[in-house]
């Protein structure tokens, strides 16, 4: 009997599932069928790999296995005839250069999900679900929506792509521009979920943020665009802080308390080079401005030496380019650090009156900090408790509870 190998299938699922699904969607042209085929392939691998060992090309093995299972199912349903399927030969040939081919499939799927046939919000939701493997609950939290609304949006988007017979392939060069904005937003949302997970026991999901950076680099290779470079710069500069964002026990560490010696200098330098190239192109968009803000943090050798005047000025420009509630909240925090807590609190109160972020826990975190700096202890405690009630990520909840305990102890 073959020796059983210890294989962590959960880790392998995180590593391979997105690329497997992307390749199956392109071949089967059906999201739901591809998802079922992918899960069947992993179920087979769960039995075979511990006995036989990992194949040389795990991703291609999973794609091949899932594809054959899907073909068998379709034939049983009399949708296919019994003649040999020409796609199977092509799939076997991909084993020679599997990794690059399947990586490209993932990028093709992103561009497909971001097709102009879909509304902008539907493009983001569909891609986050199918490419990033986020749950509807995680996507709902990212958009500050109800999960049922997100689920309906995704179902309608799939149906529209199917009814319109949209090809699952990268667009021609002339069509790239009209899909680019949604693609960049999706890649950044993917990075954000990896950098600051909305659920799960760990505060971050390194495999997601790493994949987002890889896709960002790939898009920069395809398209000479300032915002592509701005997005890549932003992700690199934020990723440079990953090692300092959590303590040895997994607890979150606030930016002000991070050991900056742990920041990744090569990533900072690469991010700043990308930012410089983006600025030289003369088109300053939202991602480039956010990268410039991240660069200011990277330049500061300590939290006390952060140039909040520059950061506040950059937010003044950013709020004109992208006047979203979250950008306005971040601007309020920057102004509170530059001009004082009272100035920031006025802006926070305006956001609260609008009702747009009332259920966003980070608004109440910012409000609590400003109350605390103004010596308003009870108001600070109330805001902290409100933030704790709204937060769902375990590590964030631990951080909030620690802050409440610190304040209550004087």
Task: Assign 38 to helix, strand or coil.
Answer: helix
- Please give the average per-residue pLDDT across 66-77, as a whole number: 85
- Tell me which of 267 and 141 has the higher pLDDT: 267
**pLDDT per residue as tens digits for the range 107-162:** 788 888 888 888 888 888 888 888 777 788 878 877 778 889 899 999 999 888 88
Domains of the chain, residue spans: 1-101
d(CA 55, CA 74): 27
pLDDT at 80 over 90: no
- Please give the average per-residue pLDDT across 39-68, as a whole number: 88
Least confident window among 25-29, 93-97, 396-400: 93-97
Can you give the pLDDT at residue 108? 80
Share of the chain above pLDDT 70, in %: 89
Can you give the pLDDT at residue 174? 65
**Is 212 within 8 Å of 194 (Cβ atoms)?**
yes
Least confident window among 193-207, 272-286, 306-320, 326-340: 193-207
Structure tokens at 2: 């073959």
Least confident window among 166-175, 210-219, 256-265, 314-323: 166-175
Q: Label residue 344 by pLDDT band (50, 70, 90).
A: very high
pLDDT at 103 over 70: no
Whole-angstrom CA distances from 103 to 152, 155, 194, 204, 285 are 29, 25, 19, 23, 28
Q: Label residue 92 by pLDDT band (50, 70, 90).
A: very low
- Please give the average per-residue pLDDT across 44-61, as a whole number: 86
Can you give the pLDDT at residue 4? 47
Mapping DSSP onto H, E and C, the string for 319-388 reads HHHCCCHHHHHHHHHHHHHHHCHHHHHHHHHHHHHHCCCCCCHHHHHHHHHHHHHCCCHHHHHHHHHHHH
Can you give the pLDDT at residue 97? 44
Q: Label residue 336 by pLDDT band (50, 70, 90).
A: very high
Whole-angstrom CA distances from 316 to 278, 323, 344 are 19, 10, 13
pLDDT at 300 over 50: yes
pLDDT at 199 over 80: no
Q: For the chain, give percent helix, strand, coil, nearest 5.
A: 75, 0, 25
Can you give the pLDDT at residue 102? 56
Fold category of 1-101 in CATH: Rna Polymerase Sigma Factor; Chain: A (1.10.1740)
**pLDDT per residue as tens digits for the range 375-409:** 998 899 899 999 999 988 888 899 899 888 887 77
- Tell me which of 122 and 297 has the higher pLDDT: 297
pLDDT at 254 over 50: yes
Q: Which residue has the tokens 């949708």?
A: 79
Least confident window among 185-189, 236-240, 327-331, 332-336: 185-189
- Tell me which of 82 and 139 has the higher pLDDT: 139
């Amino acid at each position: 009997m073959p020796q059983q190998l210890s294989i962590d299938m959960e880790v392998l699922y995180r590593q391979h599932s997105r690329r497997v699904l992307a390749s199956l969607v392109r071949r089967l042209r059906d999201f739901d069928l591809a998802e079922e085929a992918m899960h069947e392939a992993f179920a087979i691998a769960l039995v075979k790999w511990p006995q036989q060992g990992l194949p040389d090309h795990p991703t291609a093995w999973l794609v091949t296995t899932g594809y054959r299972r899907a073909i068998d199912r379709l034939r049983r349903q009399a949708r296919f005839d019994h003649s040999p399927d020409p796609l199977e030969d092509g799939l076997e040939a991909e084993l020679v250069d599997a990794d690059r081919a399947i990586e490209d499939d993932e990028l093709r799927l992103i561009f497909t999900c971001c097709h102009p046939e879909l509304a902008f919000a539907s493009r983001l939701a569909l891609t986050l679900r199918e490419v990033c493997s986020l749950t509807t609950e995680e996507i709902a939290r990212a958009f500050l929506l109800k999960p049922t609304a997100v689920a309906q949006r995704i179902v309608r988007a799939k149906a529209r792509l199917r009814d319109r017979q949209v090809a699952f392939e990268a667009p021609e060069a002339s069509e790239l521009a009209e899909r680019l904005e949604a693609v960049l937003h999706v890649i950044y949302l993917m990075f954000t979920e990896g950098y600051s997970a909305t659920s799960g026991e760990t505060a971050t999901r390194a495999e997601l943020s790493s994949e987002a950076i890889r896709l960002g680099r790939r898009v920069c290779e395809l398209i000479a665009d300032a915002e592509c470079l701005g997005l890549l710069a932003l992700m690199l500069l934020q990723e440079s802080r990953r090692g300092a964002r959590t303590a040895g026990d997994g607890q979150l560490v606030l930016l002000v308390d991070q050991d900056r010696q742990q920041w990744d200098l090569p990533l900072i330098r690469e991010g700043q080079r990308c930012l410089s190239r983006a600025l030289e192109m003369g088109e300053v968009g939202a991602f480039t401005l956010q990268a410039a803000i991240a660069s200011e943090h990277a330049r500061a050798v300590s939290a006390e030496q952060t140039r909040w005047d520059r950061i506040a000025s950059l937010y003044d420009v950013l709020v004109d380019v992208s006047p979203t509630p979250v950008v306005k909240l971040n601007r309020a925090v920057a102004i509170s650090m530059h001009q004082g807590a009272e100035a920031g609190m006025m802006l926070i109160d305006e956001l609260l009156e609008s009702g747009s972020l009332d259920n966003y826990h980070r608004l109440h975190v910012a409000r609590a900090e400003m109350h605390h700096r103004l010596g308003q202890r009870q108001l600070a405690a109330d805001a902290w408790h409100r933030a704790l009630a709204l937060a769902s990520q375990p590590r964030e909840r631990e951080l909030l509870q620690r802050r409440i305990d610190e304040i209550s102890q004087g």
